[in-house]
Structure 1
Amino acid sequence: MKKILVIEDEDFVRENILDLLDVEGFEAIGAENGQIGLSLAKKMIPDLILCDVMMPGLDGYGVLTAIRQDALMASIPFIFLTAKAAKADFRQGMELGADDYITKPFTRAELLGAIASRLKKKAALETLYHTELQQAKEELNYLIHHDSLTHLPNHLSLREQFKQLQPKDTSDEKLVTVLSLDLDRFNQINDNLGQAVGDVLLKAVADRIKACVGSPGIVARLNTTQFAIIRAFDRQGDCPTQYKREVGNLAQTLLNSLSQTFELANQELFITASIGIALYPRDGTEIEQLLNHANTALTQAKQQGGNQYQFYTTAFNIGSSDRLALQSSLRHALERHELLLYYQPQVSLKTGEIVGAEALVRWQHPERGLISPDKFIPIAEETGLIVPIGEWVLKTACQQTKIWQNAGFSHLRISVNLSSRQFSQIDLRHQLVAILMETGLDPKYIELELTESMLVHNTEVAIRRLNALKSLGVEIAIDDFGTGYSSLSYLQQFPFDILKIDRCFIHKITDNPNNAAITKAIIEMAKTLNLKLMVEGVETESELSFVCQNQCDGMQGYLFSRPLPSHDFAQLLKNNKRLPLPINSTK
C-alpha cells in the first residue's frame, strides 16, 4: 500500500483529500502545517507528498526545500496544492524541485490523475535504478573475478573454480592438473615496443592459450605475464605414465602454439614461454599449494633456458633451500675475501695480440669450491649485494690492470660489466673518480660494459649518465646487443664506443645462414656508426674466419683462451701469446 502524506492547513480540504485517498486504497496521513508535515515525512518516508503552498510558519516552499536537501527524501514525488496560479509561482516551485502543481479548486480526477502519473514515474525510475544497480553489481563482481585486459578469470576466480573441479575423493574419475605458464623475456617487448603493443600481444597470447586448452579447462591470468591453467583429465586406470603423457602433450601444444609468429602492429613478434606443472593429489590438494609447486617447476624450466615445461618434483625444494644457503653465504663473501676476478683475453683481429681483458667475477666458496656466476649473480641482483660486489670488481680490475701496465704492458685495456643497479646509482661517477685516483689508472684504458635492457627504461636519463661517465675519458661498450627485441637504429641515440656481438650470433655461424645474415647486418650498422666491434664466444676456426672476413676489430672466446686467474693471464702476456689469424683475413 502506497503511503501519501497530505500537508494542508485547511482542515476541510485536508480531510476531504484523506477520505478520497482512503477510498482509493492509499495509506494517507495528514499534517496541519509545514513543520508537522516535515517531521512526519522524516519518520514515515512516504511514497508521495501533497503539500499546500501558503501555510503559516513553514510554508510549502520551505517544506520542499528541506525535503530535497534530505538524502532519504530527495526523490519523493512532491505535488503542490495551491490557489496561486501565477506563472511566477509555478516557476518558483519547479525550480525548487516540485514534480507537479494542482490549483485549487481541483476535481477528484485531477488529483488522482496527478498522483497516478507521479507514482508511475517513480516506479519507472525505481525499476531503472534497481536495474542499473543490479548491472553495477554484476559488473563489479565481474571485475573482482576477471582480469581487465584479457577478460580471463583472475586468481580469486581460479580458487573458486578449482573447488568446483576438485575431486570429492580419490575414486573420482577425473585427475586435476595445474599448469603455471609464464612468457620468457616479455619485458623486452614492453621496453622496446611500448606497453600498448605489449598489451595487444598479451591478449593474443590469452586467445591462443584458450584455444589450446579448450572448454573443459580453466585459463586464468595471475599477473602481467603469468597464466594458470586447470585441466581435468580422465583417469587412465592406475597408469600415472599415461596421465603424465597427456599433460605433457597439452604443455607442448601450448609451447608450440605460442612460439608461432604473432603479427601485430604491422610487425612480426616472436615469444616463447615456460611451463611448470603440478599434479593433484600427488603435489597437493589445495590450489595455493598446487600453484606454488607449479611455480617452482616453472622457475626450473626458466633456469634451463625457457621454452620448455617441467613437472614438479620434491627435488626442486632442495634447490630452493640451497639457494637460501648461498644467499646467506654471499653476504659474507666480500668481507671473507672469497670473491675472485678472472680475466678473459681480448685479442686484436688485426695483429692477433692481446689488447685487453674482460674482468669476470668468480666465487671461491670455502666448502663448495668455485661457484659459477650463473648461480650467484642472480642472487646478488635480487638482494642488492651486486652493488658492493660491482664496486669491488671495478676497483680490483683497475688495480690489476695498473700492475700489468707497470710491468711493461702499458696499453693493456680492462673491460668491466656494470649491473643495472650499479648504473642506476646516483654516485656512480663519483665512485669511478675515486677508484681512478686511488689506482692511478688512466681512464682511457677502461671500458664499461652495459646491456641494452639497462638503457631502454628511461632513454634520456641513460644518455645523461653515459655522457657523464664518458666525460671522464672511459669508453662505453654495449654488451649482448641484438639478443632483445629492440631496433638496431636505437644505437645512434647513445654515446657508445664499442659494440659486443653476443656469442649466440656467432655459434656455428657457418651452419646457420639466418644468423650469418643478421650478424653481417649488425656489423655493417656498427661500421656506419663508427663503432668498434668486439665478438664474444669465438670457439672454432670457421667462426674466427667469419669475423675476420667481416673486418671485426677484436674477439674473445675459448678458441684463444678461457677466463683465467690473474697470474695465469700475466703468463700469457709474458709469453706474448698471439692468435694465429686466417691467411686470407683482411688486415
Structure 2
Amino acid sequence: MVGHINQTVAQAELDSSRGALLLLDLDDFKNINDSLGYAIGDKLLIQVAERLTQFTKHLDGVSLARIGSDEFVLLCPDLGHGYTSAKTRAEQLAHSLNEQFVIPFELDTLRLHLSASIGISLFPVAQLGQEEYLRQADTANHIAKQVAPGSHVFFSQEMADEIQDRLRISNDLQQALANNELDLYFQPQQQVADNKPVGMEALLRWIPPGKKTIPPSVFIPVAEETSLICDIGNWVLQQACACFQRWQHSSLPLGNLSVNISARHFHSPDFIARLTVLMQQYPGCRHNLTLEVTEGVFLENLTESRSRMAHIKALGVNLSIDDFGTGYSSFAYLRELPVDELKLDRSFIQYIDQRPQDKAIIACLLDLARTLGMSVVAEGVETEQQLATLAELNCPAYQGYLRAHPMSEADLIAWLEKH
C-alpha cells in the first residue's frame, strides 16, 4: 500500500491535482473480540471488508486496503485542483463511509451495531515525505476517536504538534514520578458561619528542578490517557495518608482530608486492595479520608461502581461527588449510592451573588443535600459577597482563594496553628 500511496502522490504532484488518504478504524472492536470471541470478530471483519469493497467499487480511481486488524485505508486521487474543493469532496466521502455502518451487521443470530472513526490526510503537501501521509491520517484518526465514535477529523500541523507535546509531557511525567518531582499542596476547607477549619483537599503539583511549577490542568489530562494516572493516584493517596497520620500527633484542627480520584484509577482492578492496605498502614485516616470522584466516574458502570463504593465505605472511607451540577446531574443515582458529600462547582459559585438563577440552583442543591443527609462544600469562593450569599443560604462549608490558597505542608501547619 505504501508504494501505491507514493505513486498516487507523485502523480498528483505532476497533474497539479489533489487527493486524500482516509484511514478508517473500527470503534471498540477490541471489546467485540474480548466479549464475543475472535471467531465472531473475524467474521465481522470480513463483512466490513465486503461492505467497503462494494462502496469503493463505484468510486472512480479509489483504492481500498486493510492495513491492520481493524484498520482500512482508502486512497482517493483526483478530488479537485483546489484545496477547498478537495477537502469538501473528502468530507463527503467520509460521510458516505459512515453511512455504510448505519445498517447493523448480521452474524448468525447476532445483530451488531458498529461505527468507525476516520482520519483524513490531504495530498500533496509541499516538502512532505510521501511516507508521512499515512502517519498524518493515523494522527487524525486518533483525535477523531477522542472527539466521538464515528466522527472524522482532518489532519493539521497544530494537531501533530499537540500530540507531540502530550507525548513529551507523558514521558517527562513518568520521569518526574521516579525522580520525586511531584509534591502535595493542601487547600483548607472552612465553615461558612465562622471560618473554622473543617478539613483540607490534597492537590498535586509538579515542580521540575529549576523550572516553573507545571499546573495539574496541563499534565493530569495527559496522565489520564494511560495507566500513568493510576501510578500517580497511588502515590498521591500514599503521601496524603502519610501526612495526615503524621499530623494527628499534634493538636492541629485537621478535620477531613479529601483526595481526588480519577475514573481510570477508581475502576482499576487493584484499587480496593490498595486502599485496604493503606487503611491498615494508616489507621488514623479511617473516617477522616474522603475520596472525591466526578459523576462520570460511577455513571460509566453504575452496578460496579455501587459495589466498589460499598467496599470503600466498609473501609471507613468517605465519598464525595466533585464538581456536582456540571456533569450528568441525575438525582436518581444519589438515592442509590453511599455518598457523604457534594462539592458545588465553582462555575455556580462565581456569580452566585449576581445571578438569581445560580443562587436558586445552589439553594435547591443545599436543600437536597440536607434531605439526603449529605454535607456540602462550595468550591472556588473568592469574594466576601460570594461567602455572604452562601451564609444566607446556610451552606455549611467552603474552600477558595478568599481565605486560603493551596499551600505546602509547612505552610499548612503554620496556617492551622494560626487558626
TM-score between both structures, scaled by the size of structure 1: 0.50
Alignment match, 1:324: 167
Alignment match, 2:191: 348
Preserved contact between residue 259 and residue 291 of structure 2 (Cα < 8 Å): yes
Preserved contact between residue 503 and residue 537 of structure 1 (Cα < 8 Å): yes
Alignment match, 2:364: 521
Alignment match, 2:209: 366
Separation of aligned partners in 2, 1:443 and 1:332: 32
Judging changes above 3 Å, is the alpha-carbon distance between structure 1 residues 216 and 377 closer, same or farther for their aligned structure 2 residues? closer
Supply the AA of the counterpart residue of 1:221.
Answer: N
Q: Does 1:530 align with 2:407?
A: no
Alignment match, 2:98: 221
SS of match in other structure, 1:548: helix
Report Cα offsets for 1:375-394 as digits up to 9, x if no partner.
22223222212222212211
Judging changes above 3 Å, is the alpha-carbon distance between structure 1 residues 481 and 219 closer, same or farther for their aligned structure 2 residues? farther
Q: Does 1:492 align with 2:309?
A: no
CA shift at 1:228, angstroms? 6.3
Match of 1:166 among 64, 69, 79: 79
Q: Does 1:176 align with 2:176?
A: no
Report Cα offsets for 1:116-159 as digits up to 9, x if no partner.
xxxxxxxxxxxxxxxxxxxxxx999656667xxxxxxxx98x97
Separation of aligned partners in 2, 1:496 and 1:176: 54
Alignment match, 1:381: 224
Alignment match, 2:390: 547
Separation of aligned partners in 1, 2:220 and 2:48: 46
Separation of aligned partners in 1, 2:83 and 2:171: 46
Preserved contact between residue 220 and residue 229 of structure 1 (Cα < 8 Å): no
Report Cα offsets for 1:427-463 as digits up to 9, x if no partner.
4334233323333414111111111111123222211
SS of match in other structure, 1:478: strand
Supply the AA of the counterpart residue of 2:395.
Answer: C
Separation of aligned partners in 1, 2:339 and 2:171: 37
Match of 1:451 among 294, 297, 315: 294
Matched ranges for 1:246-285 at <5 A: none
Q: Does 1:404 align with 2:247?
A: yes
Alignment match, 1:563: 406
Judging changes above 3 Å, is the alpha-carbon distance between structure 1 residues 218 and 390 closer, same or farther for their aligned structure 2 residues? closer
Alignment match, 1:36: none
Separation of aligned partners in 2, 1:297 and 1:457: 21
Judging changes above 3 Å, is the alpha-carbon distance between structure 1 residues 318 and 450 closer, same or farther for their aligned structure 2 residues? same
Preserved contact between residue 178 and residue 294 of structure 1 (Cα < 8 Å): no
Separation of aligned partners in 2, 1:542 and 1:487: 30
SS of match in other structure, 1:509: coil
CA shift at 1:537, angstroms? 1.3
Separation of aligned partners in 2, 1:406 and 1:432: 22
CA shift at 1:527, angstroms? 1.8
Separation of aligned partners in 2, 1:351 and 1:179: 65
Matched ranges for 1:97-176 at <5 A: 142=51, 163=76, 166-167=79-80, 175-176=85-86
Q: Does 1:420 align with 2:263?
A: yes
Alignment match, 1:265: none
Matched ranges for 1:9-24 at <5 A: none
Identity over aligned residues, as a percent?
32
Supply the AA of the counterpart residue of 1:341.
Answer: L
SS of match in other structure, 1:221: helix
Supply the AA of the counterpart residue of 2:168.
Answer: A
Preserved contact between residue 123 and residue 133 of structure 2 (Cα < 8 Å): no
Report Cα offsets for 1:387-435 as digits up to 9, x if no partner.
2221221121122123333221154321011222332244433423332
Separation of aligned partners in 1, 2:245 and 2:273: 20
Judging changes above 3 Å, is the alpha-carbon distance between structure 1 residues 295 and 417 closer, same or farther for their aligned structure 2 residues? same
CA shift at 1:227, angstroms? 6.8
Preserved contact between residue 413 and residue 446 of structure 1 (Cα < 8 Å): yes
Preserved contact between residue 362 and residue 373 of structure 1 (Cα < 8 Å): yes
CA shift at 1:507, angstroms? 2.1
Report Cα offsets for 1:202-261 as digits up to 9, x if no partner.
xxxxxxxxxxx9x8995653998887699xxxxxxxxxxxxxxxxxxxxxxxxxxxxxxx
Matched ranges for 1:436-475 at <5 A: 436-475=279-318
Separation of aligned partners in 2, 1:318 and 1:179: 26
SS of match in other structure, 2:248: helix
Preserved contact between residue 310 and residue 338 of structure 2 (Cα < 8 Å): yes
- Structure 1: runs of 5 or more not aligned: 1-137, 147-154, 181-212, 231-277, 303-309, 577-587
Judging changes above 3 Å, is the alpha-carbon distance between structure 1 residues 367 and 172 closer, same or farther for their aligned structure 2 residues? same
Matched residues, number: 339
Judging changes above 3 Å, is the alpha-carbon distance between structure 1 residues 417 and 139 closer, same or farther for their aligned structure 2 residues? closer
Computing the radius of gyration over CA atoms, which structure comes out larger, 1 or 2? Answer: 1
Judging changes above 3 Å, is the alpha-carbon distance between structure 1 residues 178 and 507 closer, same or farther for their aligned structure 2 residues? farther
Separation of aligned partners in 2, 1:343 and 1:496: 23
CA shift at 1:352, angstroms? 0.7
SS of match in other structure, 1:365: coil
Preserved contact between residue 219 and residue 228 of structure 1 (Cα < 8 Å): no
Preserved contact between residue 506 and residue 537 of structure 1 (Cα < 8 Å): yes
Alignment match, 1:508: 351
Report Cα offsets for 1:317-354 as digits up to 9, x if no partner.
34433322222222232332111001111111132112
Separation of aligned partners in 2, 1:314 and 1:514: 42
SS of match in other structure, 2:300: coil
